[in-house]
Amino acid sequence: MTLTTDIKFHGNAKVLDDKLAFHPAINMKKGNYFAREGYSDFAHSEGKQYHPKYDKLTLGSQNMYLVKGSVTQYNYLEEPIDMTAVTQYADYLLENESGRYELELIDNRLEYKTKVDYSLTEWTDPPAIYNIECEKTMLEVQEDDSAFLCVIRLDEDYDAWIPKLRDVKAGESLTIEKEGEHCYVVFSSEVEKEGTNLEAFKMYKLSSDSMVITATEDTRIFRTYRD
């Protein structure tokens, strides 16, 4: 598998409890990209795991999470184009993404556009966990100041991790419950917790049963946990 990118990550990657590696990419510029060709050495066993319902869709590596701004994913399809695969992908997105995307086929390029609009009022699966099967995929940033989180699971049972996203509006408070034995959260902007400011784009481990935070601006929260 070949990976190419011009995205600059912020600071140094952090390793937490020998379980997660974390590295944010913030203040990205429109046109920044991340591209992948091939499936070998994919994060999941044997390179591919197929969707239980849609046999043309495969599980993504789930290492990159958009928490600010907007991005377009380009899937380059081999010709002749397998329209069954395109239909399956459209049906999968319709079932799982609640309309928070645009999908368009232009020649052999399937374009999936998504934007952080701070509309998630419940903990929600990240978008496009499954992807149409293709050898070449590219993510392109569509908005200045967009931000990704790169979260790599280090323990062998990486499928045990459950990533979720949720939004909180400026001035509103939210109680974040600890889930599992190992639970971590990241905020897309600075939030307040009991008079203390928690930094944006820093991964925090929940040691108590819950935390109450107040957002100073519209904020996306990433939470991942296991066991």
| Domains defined along the chain, listed by start | 2-147 (no CATH), 158-226 (2.60.120.10)
pLDDT of res. 46 = 56
List pLDDT tens digits, range 131-179: 998 889 999 999 999 999 999 999 878 889 999 999 999 999 999 999 9
List pLDDT tens digits, range 79-108: 999 999 999 999 999 998 877 899 999 999
On whether the CB atoms of residues 213 and 200 are closer than 8 A, the answer is no
Q: Is the pLDDT of residue 39 over 90?
A: no
Compute the distance between CA of residue 162 and CA of residue 38 in angstroms, rounded to an integer: 25
Compute the distance between CA of residue 165 and CA of residue 120 in angstroms, rounded to an integer: 8
Amino acid of residue 67: V
pTM above 0.85, yes or no: yes
